[in-house]
Structure 1
Amino acid sequence: MTAEQALSISLGLQGPCVIARLTGEFDFGSAAEVRDRVTKALDLSLPPMIIIDMQAVSVCDSSGLSVLVYLHKAVTASGGRLLVSGLNGRCKHLFAITALDRFFEIRPTAELAIAELSESGHSPPFVG
């Protein structure tokens, strides 16, 4: 039997965005911790602008998806936006077969998500 790769969560602020970088297995065993820690961070930016970076997630199951849907509802109810970034491999396939790739705003990288939210949320429009 192989050892499971425990999930680690790194939370930080970059500009107006709260970034949750997940590493490892986002499954039943880690879903509640992700939900609790990200929910506590929602007040760090108002309205909340949350990026869930899944670049280093090796496994995501229905528990992980359920937490993402919960967080999305909480963020949008507060007038904010939640973007998911860095989907690859099995996680990208899971989002496609569940049609969640049409529900979530997904960006290829956290950096692109940060740039988009920073521009749309707190920067004045460019006047040329």
Structure 2
Amino acid sequence: MFSVQVVREERGVVLVLRGELDFESMVQLDEAGQEALALGRGAGPVVADCAAMAFCDSSGIGAMLRLMQPLAEQGRVLRLAGVPAAVARLFAITGLDRIFEVHPDREQAFAAGRDRRDMVAVGSEESAQLRERQNS
């Protein structure tokens, strides 16, 4: 059994993942991601709180990856928090730990962006403008 709870906070959006994220349940994550995307630019980062996630297969990872690009287009990021050891090991083996921002908990995931005011999502219009200013 899998569930996703979408929690809107002042700092951003939290997707609380519970249970087994796999081929059967990835549609729930896709739908929750669409809800987070609907909030649009300026809504802050999306933190996937994985502390209660028991399992994640390649379909679940694919659902997370599919959420990253449209968030980047909005100037937002996806951060993972509380990733269980077995899933963290899978990320390390496959190199996904270099793609996903992984943090020990929700608080640290939200705090991660505070010190990087000048950073913007790669591929966004803002990043192109920043690169242009830096090259001038």
TM-score range, shorter chain: 0.7 to 0.9
Alignment of 1:53 with 2:49, yes or no, is: yes
| RMSD value, Cα | 1.7
Matches of 2:112 and 2:99 in 1, distance apart?
18
Q: How many residues align?
A: 116
Q: Give the 3 Å change call, closer, same or farther, for CA 35–118 of structure 1 in structure 2.
A: farther
Matches of 1:40 and 1:13 in 2, distance apart?
10
Q: Which residue of 2 aligns with 1:33?
A: 28
**SS at structure 2 position matched to 1:63:** helix
Matches of 1:33 and 1:24 in 2, distance apart?
12
Structure 2 unaligned regions, length at least 5: 118-136
Structure 1 unaligned regions, length at least 5: 1-5, 122-128
**SS at structure 2 position matched to 1:72:** helix
Normalising by structure 2, we get a TM-score of 0.77
Q: Which residue of 2 aligns with 1:11?
A: 6
What letter is aligned with 2:22? D
Matches of 1:50 and 1:36 in 2, distance apart?
14
**Identity across the alignment (%):** 31
Q: CA deviation at 1:119?
A: 6.4
Q: Which runs of 4+ in 1 moved over 6 A?
A: none
Q: CA deviation at 1:40?
A: 2.0
Normalising by structure 1, we get a TM-score of 0.82
